[in-house]
Chain A
């Protein structure tokens, strides 16, 4: 082999290990899932033995009111938790972005919920939500208020509260990091220009944090679509289908109903949804940049 040829191959040789790992760990399982979603596949069969049914799994799911209900619950859950967590997390960061004694301790305490295993979080909240011995209802009773049927009538709300408790710190920490890396002098300039504290937040801090906030929100959204353990422990998807989010339905379809093909098709729907969301976000940023560039070009043509 000539030296020139070896030189040309060098970059590919360095890329090869990464490519192999990616093929084994990502492309193979993904392809397996997509392939499986076109079959009527029982866990007792190998994928080769399963009957090929084309798009039947997808069509059945699309016409299944339970699946649509579950999709609706997932969307509601994800959007509510992400919006509320963003508001509280960013708000807290704006509030606590200052030098207070004991600030580092406070910050550490804030992120504790994030470090607890989701199953434990689920158990903890299940006890607190318990209709008779739970902390919430006993407190309500002791101050003479009517008790609330947390995990029955208000199951989705209760699940949402637990998720907000666990994941707001994530947004708080990232927002705080974004805030603290903002250019100090730009904020001082805004103070001299006459901006009140609110105007500094609205006109300077939030716009400058925006790139970080978009990525943070997107990460949380993707995560919220896949949440499983907390809800599994808290409600098992009930009562009825009121808290049966997609991840839970997928897991049950695969294990309880033993319909691997349908579960795979459902996973693909979720994957497509997340891909669309991510692409929409990137498209939006692109569009904004393009628009800014167009305005600039137009104004420079005028000169």
Chain B
């Protein structure tokens, strides 16, 4: 179970540089998720680790040894592809056993291994089918089984669930979480779906524009995003951002903006005082707003409720706040009058402040 280290990894396609010196360490037996919008460089990074893309600059170390000059087959890794990449002319058993057959393992061992992994992913009844006769979910399982059969110490996933429908995706996500707890491998998982990232990862690496924005546990990233991009990317519905200005009165620090004037908690106030610029962005997650008509005005937002989206136990309210929009997540049992302006309490411990210019968290 090796440790993988990326050292100033750079990828260029001709003149265009798409990865700008990525530095990352992935510890032994860890589930790392690279997440970001499309074009952020996450797939390129994964494919460079796999050896499918050349390294333009920098180096990849596995257990301290440089590997970027090695062929994929010499890197001791297995990979699950977005489109499954099954061999269409081979049946399920042949797909699973391809790597073992190439390695000329004894027949009995191959058969035993195929049975073992097929049982693990629930494919025992389909071993003689060709991929063309399988459903999307079953193909996904074959891809997983094929990677598992290899017994490599590194396991790479390139958006493995994005071709499945929503229900199947949820189910496979749960199975993946179960599997990752059972097998001890260094797993690296690429996705654009922040829910997959949050639920599966031991550690999330958020990428944007060819740079790593932040890395840490899902909770760290959710609670303490280092910049506006990370704050807006993780969490569903996404965080609300309101432009405001810092001001000081009566020994407290306030954020003042269109239709609101919030008092910061003492801890936040201390940090805000030390910050040079007065122009900030206030970030509030939809779940940190609660309907409370008795809330004091320096701890509340006045929002005009425009639309209510019912999603079961929760409802998402789309509200008007000055020139912008704010979403609020409320319990569906709470009666809400569309079209009225209501008071929502803001938990002062849970607000985020970002510099307007640099978008870095204050």
Interface residues of chain A, those whose CB is within 8 Å of chain B, are 183, 185-186, 188-196, 199, 203-204, 207-208, 210, 292, 295-296, 299-300, 303
> Which residues from A are CB-within-8-Å of B85?
183, 185-186, 188-189
Interface residues of chain B, those whose CB is within 8 Å of chain A, are 50-52, 71-73, 77-79, 81-89, 91, 98-99, 102-103, 124-125, 127-130, 133, 146, 150
Contact at B102–A194, with CB atoms within 8 Å? yes
What residue of chain A has the Cβ atom nearest to residue B75's Cβ? A192
- Docked CA distance A189–B88 (Å): 12
Contact at A204–B73, with CB atoms within 8 Å? no
Task: Tell whether A208 pairs with B88 under 8 Å between CB atoms, given A193-B73, A295-B128.
Answer: yes
**Looking at chain A's contact residues, is the secondary structure mostly helix, strand, loop, or mixed?**
helix
Task: Tell whether A296 pairs with B71 under 8 Å between CB atoms, given A188-B85, A192-B79, A208-B89.
Answer: no
17 more A-B residue pairs beyond the given contacts A188-B72, A299-B128, A303-B124, with a C-beta to C-beta distance below 8 A: A183-B83, A183-B85, A185-B81, A188-B52, A189-B79, A190-B87, A192-B50, A192-B72, A192-B73, A192-B77, A193-B102, A193-B146, A195-B98, A199-B102, A203-B87, A295-B128, A300-B128
Q: Which 5 A-B pairs have the closest CB atoms?
A: A185-B85, A193-B99, A189-B85, A194-B73, A299-B128
A202 to chain B, nearest CB (A): 11
Contact at B71–A191, with CB atoms within 8 Å? yes
| B89 partner, pick from A207, A295, A296, A299, beta carbons under 8 A | A207
Task: Tell whether A186 pairs with B87 under 8 Å between CB atoms, given A191-B73, A192-B73, A195-B102.
Answer: yes
A232 to chain B, nearest CB (A): 43
> Which residues from B are CB-within-8-Å of A186?
85-88
Contact at A296–B81, with CB atoms within 8 Å? no
- Docked CA distance A299–B123 (Å): 13
- Docked CA distance A47–B93 (Å): 64
A208 to chain B, nearest CB (A): 6
Contact at A195–B127, with CB atoms within 8 Å? no
A203 to chain B, nearest CB (A): 7
6 contacts across the A-B interface (CB closer than 8 A): A183-B88, A185-B81, A189-B86, A203-B102, A208-B89, A296-B129
Contact at A190–B128, with CB atoms within 8 Å? no
Task: Tell whether A191 pairs with B89 under 8 Å between CB atoms, given A185-B81, A300-B128.
Answer: no
- Docked CA distance A184–B205 (Å): 27
> Which residues from A are CB-within-8-Å of B102?
193-195, 199, 203
> Which residues from B are CB-within-8-Å of A299?
127-128
Contact at A190–B98, with CB atoms within 8 Å? yes
- How many A-B pairs have beta carbons closer than 8 Å: the answer is 74
> Which residues from A are CB-within-8-Å of B129?
296
- Of A191, A193, A199, A295, the most chain B CB neighbours within 10 A belong to A193
> Which residues from A are CB-within-8-Å of B77?
192
> Which residues from A are CB-within-8-Å of B81?
185, 188-189
A292 to chain B, nearest CB (A): 8
Contact at A194–B127, with CB atoms within 8 Å? no
- Docked CA distance A207–B89 (Å): 7
| B83 partner, pick from A185, A204, A303, beta carbons under 8 A | A185
- Docked CA distance A90–B98 (Å): 24
> Which residues from A are CB-within-8-Å of B133?
296
> Which residues from A are CB-within-8-Å of B51?
191-192
> Which residues from B are CB-within-8-Å of A210?
89
> Which residues from A are CB-within-8-Å of B72?
188, 191-192
B153 to chain A, nearest CB (A): 14
Contact at A191–B52, with CB atoms within 8 Å? yes
- Of B102, B125, B129, B130, the most chain A CB neighbours within 10 A belong to B102
- Docked CA distance A299–B78 (Å): 29
> Which residues from A are CB-within-8-Å of B52?
188, 191-192
> Which residues from B are CB-within-8-Å of A192?
50-52, 72-73, 77-79
Contact at A193–B50, with CB atoms within 8 Å? no
What residue of chain B has the Cβ atom nearest to residue A182's Cβ? B88
> Which residues from A are CB-within-8-Å of B86?
186, 189
Contact at B128–A194, with CB atoms within 8 Å? no
- Of A192, A196, A300, the most chain B CB neighbours within 10 A belong to A192
- Docked CA distance A301–B98 (Å): 25
- Docked CA distance A195–B102 (Å): 7
B119 to chain A, nearest CB (A): 13
Task: Tell whether A203 pairs with B98 under 8 Å between CB atoms, given A299-B128, A300-B128.
Answer: yes
A119 to chain B, nearest CB (A): 42
| B125 partner, pick from A191, A199, A295, A303, beta carbons under 8 A | A303
> Which residues from A are CB-within-8-Å of B73?
191-196
- Docked CA distance A220–B98 (Å): 34
- Docked CA distance A209–B77 (Å): 28
- Of B51, B98, B124, B129, the most chain A CB neighbours within 10 A belong to B98
> Which residues from B are CB-within-8-Å of A191?
51-52, 71-73
What residue of chain A has the Cβ atom nearest to residue B143's Cβ? A189
What residue of chain A has the Cβ atom nearest to residue B126's Cβ? A300
- Docked CA distance A207–B94 (Å): 14
- Of A188, A195, A207, the most chain B CB neighbours within 10 A belong to A188
Contact at A193–B150, with CB atoms within 8 Å? yes
> Which residues from A are CB-within-8-Å of B88?
183, 186, 208
> Which residues from A are CB-within-8-Å of B150?
193
- Docked CA distance A147–B52 (Å): 52
